[in-house]
Amino acid sequence: MKNVVVVGSQWGDEGKGKIVDWLSSEADIVVRFQGGHNAGHTLVIDKKVFKLRLLPSGIVRDNKISILGNGVVIDPWALIQEIKDIKKQGINVTPENFMISESASLILPFHQEMDEIREDTAGKKKIGTTRRGIGPCYEDKVGRRSIRVMDLRSESNLNSRLENVLLHHNAIRKGLKKKIYKKNELKRKLLKIAPEILKFAKPVWLKLDEFKKDRKKILFEGAQGILLDVDHGTYPFVTSSNTVPAMAATGSGSGPDKIGYILGITKAYTTRVGSGPFPTELKNKIGETLGKRGKEFGTVTARKRRCGWFDGVLVRQTIKISGINGIALTKLDVLDELDEIKMCIEYQLNGKKIDYLPAASEDQFKIKPIYKTFPGWKTSTQGIRNMKDLPDNAKKYIYSLEDFIGAKVSSISTSPERDDTILIEDPFKV
């Protein structure tokens, strides 16, 4: 029995929600360990669609415990609204099946405003954030001035913490000629919502230790993708947290020795939301076809995703960085109608061939992809649940992809439906 970490191996939007939900049938505990309500996970269960932002994907299953770890940043108002929304769909959220780390930092209204101000004034240099206040909140966390869940327990402590954080933010806002935040008004709003948040607050690290002693299976659910990691992604066009699987230990208070298998969710082509380099992007009819067939619009922002061919160089790199043991290949069926399919196997930069993504942003924008071309299969793979039933050309593409990236394809998703999955290797039992 192994605990499993699920991460995105590209720029996010790889289909983690479905895979985590599918794996959570075996897990007892599902833990989010980074990010915030900028992450959108869409689940389709018996044709019923659930759109999650903060809540872990395990919340839609009975008899599972879902956790937001200390590495997550939480907008308390957005969380309460999401809980209300999902309750309307028949999902019950209680302190028995959902808990929040008391050490998690809170996203406050001025964080979101600062996110918007920066994006609006950046012009062509904007990052393309979701404008949810994620980055400014993480900045306060690192600056040791954030308001954490535990601070809601004491009015006097909350008062002191708010004075500290507003001293910083109001100085910046004054320089930008924005309104100054009043401490007492914000404190009143936080104290009003505090009971709704605190009923879920627990020392998550301690609860996870208890679960491990009871031999519970734990599934760690990552948000975004490794190419958006603040250290290892396409910086500065990245998110504000570490999205690599090592963060599962740090962002939950669970030791790295408790992680047994790392599953990288990998789309059969490539997509990206927002600004930043994208070597295999297709600004043509094929790119439009991938977007249309793959329904490539963001769960959180509804922004149209940029689409391109599968970039084997990037995925091979994220596998090496992250220690991924196997990949879950998603959206294979989106490629069904194409005459030919391409995979990037090398780059060209300033006339020279390279086999990795350079760290400098200006080089990342300059690189040109070198492709290997595969014949399409021109028949439907949607809903196939057995490897032997796939078309021969689809199998050839999968085996070539697997060989190039240097990691086993452990499962293949052939539709958004939970059970339309080909299982090759069970991460919990390897």
Residues 6+ apart with CB under 8 A from 278: 11, 270, 272, 306, 308
Q: In sequence order, which ranges of 126-274 are alpha helices (DSSP H)? A: 134-142, 155-175, 183-198, 204-213, 247-250
- Cβ–Cβ < 8 Å for 71, 33: yes
Residues 6+ apart with CB under 8 A from 4: 23, 27, 217, 218, 219, 220, 260, 261, 262, 263, 427, 428
C-alpha–C-alpha distance, residues 8 and 18, integer Å:
12
3-state secondary structure 110-124: HHHHHHHHHHHHHHH
Numbers of helices and strands, H then E, in the chain: 12, 20
Which amino acid does the sequence have at 19? I
Active site residue 13: yes
Active site residue 168: no
> Catalytic residue among 13, 140, 229, 420, which?
13
The β-bridge relationship of strands 48-52 and 41-45 is antiparallel
CA 204 to chain centre: 20
> Catalytic residue among 21, 37, 41, 151, which?
41
Helices 134-142 and 109-122, interaxial angle, to 10°? 110
**Catalytic amino acids?**
13, 41
